[in-house]
Chain A
């Protein structure tokens, strides 16, 4: 048990070290592309980590988590379009709108369980997708180009590749740290207890829905942050980031890395997106290889990569 923890620990530390040193590698080899790729990976790892909070720790199988990527992104894009370029306005607005959306969706959907919850979160995200498609003033279906990245008053320059990468990485690490604190707090134990056995939790005096809802809002807010970063990264936001397949991607990253583990979603995001990148360079039919491969891991590698590492070290 103990050694399992240590191997996971080691892999997590190596992962973080690798992410921290990546710009150096990119600089030394002159490989700019790897930095671009990993900026995207870090942002989506943040989104996956936030999904893991509700899905892995809270047992809430949300199939609409990509909606927050869009909401955070559109908050930045729309404000930029309307001439408000300050990141100190854009980011808080992105987080606040995401939180509000999560509050409403959560209040409506958390009464349901199992497949119904999956379906209802999916339905709401698709609604968000169609609403965004209908925003004619902001590009509608075609999406919205962001001509100027968020302005942080000279503090950080998001236009600089390395600086922006470190901004995203810092956000990821802070979010993972917060999740670590949360899952070990009183609140976190209640949420995990509810996942484990709701009836028991009610019998000892916990109103389940209230705690779940707060958790749902925290996760949505975190993912809104990923959305705001993603829009900056691509200088563009479109309804496509909210499409249900994107929510599915996030779920796969979480499951692949290991649900309910701190660094699982980060490892999952790296593995998923690097694999996708490599396979797509080899063949244009990469999805045909990727699909079955993921299926195998999900079906047979219980606990994802983190689970595998745990079993490996236990022998």
Chain B
């Protein structure tokens, strides 16, 4: 079998007494949209953080396209083609939307030890930024400072920033958190478009979206993967029903 784009093996991460990631093993082949679901506090964000290098695992390994990236710092992983969006919006609040995306394109373009030319006048960077903004429907908001964008627009910008680094693997941590119905629908449409171009790991509480989009789903509970399979298989899975999808657990929308 070909090497999967992402291979996670026996990943463990503790916070004091609790095990937030408990021997997680996961494979995501190139081209797949892999959803990770689980109740609040299951360890989804913690897992994403370890994949991107914002958080170091205590044991286990992470391979990207066959290369061991378990110990690489976040910026190196980004250079290797990993991009993320944050559950809690994480942008340069005092920069314009265009600047946010252009900086991502700039990171992609190599080192930034250039001290003299006006970076905002670099055609290549601006064009890359505009095309990413267009992609998410924010082209007409390019010149607006992030702190003046609506929550929904900021979520879209998160995605544009991630796209501008031209990633192989996109890690999305609840891209729909806090979005209204129309905004959510737009995001789903966008993701179903994007999945044709890039491998995606999607963490999401919106079950409708997850089951519509995912090729495969892994269910995380108390840091453990209790099931992994196609949407149909997950729907049928008894353990998942008991632990998560069943009626004793109300699946809440985040907001």
Contact = CB atoms under 8 A, between A and B. Distances in A.
Interface of A: 181-182, 184-190, 192-193, 196-197, 199-208, 211, 214
A240 B118 CA distance: 40
Contact of B119 (A188, A199, A206, A207): A188
A185 B79 CA distance: 21
A182 B75 contact: no
Contacts of B53: 202
Given A190-B112, A197-B93, A203-B78, 14 more contacts: A185-B118, A186-B112, A186-B114, A186-B117, A188-B119, A189-B120, A199-B86, A200-B161, A202-B75, A203-B54, A203-B86, A204-B164, A205-B78, A206-B107
A130 B165 CA distance: 49
B74 interface: yes
Nearest to A207: B75
Contact of B112 (A197, A203, A206): A206
Q: Is chain A's binding surface mostly helix, strand, loop or mixed?
A: helix
B114 A187 contact: yes
B54 A202 contact: yes
Interface of B: 52-54, 73-75, 78-79, 83-84, 86, 90-95, 99, 103-104, 106-108, 112-120, 122, 161, 164-165
Nearest to B85: A203
B213 to A, nearest CB: 23
Contacts of A193: 92, 95, 103
A184 B120 contact: yes
B90 A187 contact: no
B106 A186 contact: yes
Contact of B165 (A186, A205, A211): A205
A103 to B, nearest CB: 15
A203 B55 CA distance: 12
B165 A204 contact: yes
- Looking at B103, B106, B122, the one whose CB has the most chain A CB atoms below 10 A away is B103
A184 B103 CA distance: 12
A197 B90 contact: yes
A199 B165 contact: no
A196 B93 contact: yes
Contacts of A197: 90-93
B115 A182 contact: yes
A204 B103 contact: yes
Contact of A205 (B93, B108, B115, B117): B108
Contacts of A201: 92, 103
A214 B91 CA distance: 24
B75 A200 contact: no
Contacts of B92: 193, 196-197, 200-201
Contacts of B165: 204-205
A204 B76 CA distance: 9
A203 B74 CA distance: 6
Nearest to A196: B92
A202 B52 CA distance: 10
Contacts of B161: 200, 204
Contacts of A208: 75
Closest 7 A/B residue pairs (Cβ): A205-B78, A205-B107, A196-B92, A186-B112, A202-B74, A186-B114, A204-B104
Contacts of A200: 86, 90-92, 161
A189 B54 contact: no
B75 A205 contact: yes
Given A203-B52, A214-B113, A189 B103 contact: yes
A203 B90 contact: yes
Contacts of B118: 181, 184-185
Contacts of B103: 189-190, 193, 201, 204
Contacts of B52: 203
Contacts of B74: 202-203
A206 B53 CA distance: 13
A182 B117 CA distance: 8
A185 B119 contact: yes
A139 to B, nearest CB: 38
A184 B125 CA distance: 14
A189 B119 CA distance: 8
B125 to A, nearest CB: 8
16 contacts: A186-B106, A187-B113, A189-B99, A189-B112, A189-B120, A190-B106, A196-B94, A200-B86, A200-B90, A200-B161, A201-B92, A202-B53, A203-B74, A203-B83, A205-B108, A206-B107
Nearest to A181: B116
A211 B108 CA distance: 16
Contacts of A206: 75, 107, 112
Nearest to B79: A205
A201 B75 CA distance: 8
A187 B116 CA distance: 9
A192 B74 CA distance: 19
